[in-house]
Amino acid sequence: MNLRIEYGATKLRTLAIAASVLLLAVAVLLPRAGADNTNNRRVLIRDITSVEGVRDNMLVGYGLVAGLTQTGDSQQTYFTVQTLANAMQKMGVLIPSGTVEVRNVAAVFVTASLPPFARPGAKIDVTVSSVGDAKSLAGGVLLMTALHGPDGQVYAEAQGPLALGGYSVGNGLNGKQVNTPTVGLVTNGGIVERDTAVDLQNFKTVSLLLRNPDFTTAREIADAVNDEFHKPVASALDSTRVDVSVAGAGVPSVPELISRVQNLSLVVHTPARIIINERTGTIVLGGDVKLTPVSVIHGNLSIEVSTTYAVAPVPGSGGPGWGSTGPGWGSQNGAAPPEGQGHHEGGPGPDGTAGAGGYGNQGAALVPETTLNVNDSPAQTMRLDEGANVEELVNGLHAIGTSARDVVAILQAIQAEGGIQAEVEVQ
Cα separation values, 247 from 201, 234, 244, 256, Å: 11, 11, 9, 13
Q: Please state, in angstroms and rounded to a whole number, the distance separating the CA atoms of residues 386 and 415.
A: 15
Is beta strand 241-245 parallel, antiparallel or unpaired with respect to 163-164?
A: unpaired
- 134-186 tens-digit pLDDT: 888 988 999 999 999 999 999 999 999 999 877 666 665 566 667 788 999 99
Q: Is the pTM of this model over 0.85?
A: no
Contacts of 238 (CB under 8 A, 6+ apart): 213, 215, 218
What is the DSSP-derived secondary structure letter of residue 306? E
Of the pLDDT bands very low, low, confident and very high (cuts 50, 70, 90), residue 377 is low
Query: For 26-48, how does the pLDDT look when each residue is reduced to its tens digit (9 = 90+)?
Result: 333 334 444 444 445 789 999 99
Cβ pair 136, 106 in contact under 8 A: no
* All residues at 6 or more sequence positions from 216 whose CB lies less than 8 Å from its CB, including other chains: 269
Contact 191, 159 (CB under 8 A): no
Of residues 269, 280, 274, the one with CA closest to residue 394 = 274
Of 75, 72, 200, 47, the residue nearest 135 (C-alpha): 72
Quick check: helix, strand or coil at residue 47?
helix
Residue 161 near residue 186 (C-beta atoms within 8 A): yes
Mean pLDDT of 357-379: 63
Asked if 157 contacts 82 with a C-beta cutoff of 8 angstroms, the reply is no
How high is the pLDDT of residue 316? 60
Least trusted range by pLDDT, from 52-56, 115-119, 186-190, 346-350: 346-350
The DSSP annotation for 366-419 comes to EEEEEEEEEEEPPPEEEEE-TTB-HHHHHHHHHHTT--HHHHHHHHHHHHHHT-
Q: What rounded mean pLDDT belongs to the chain?
A: 75
Please tell me the predicted confidence (pLDDT) of residue 174: 66
CA separation for the pair 83, 64 (Å, rounded): 8
Provide mean pLDDT across the span 390-416. Answer: 73
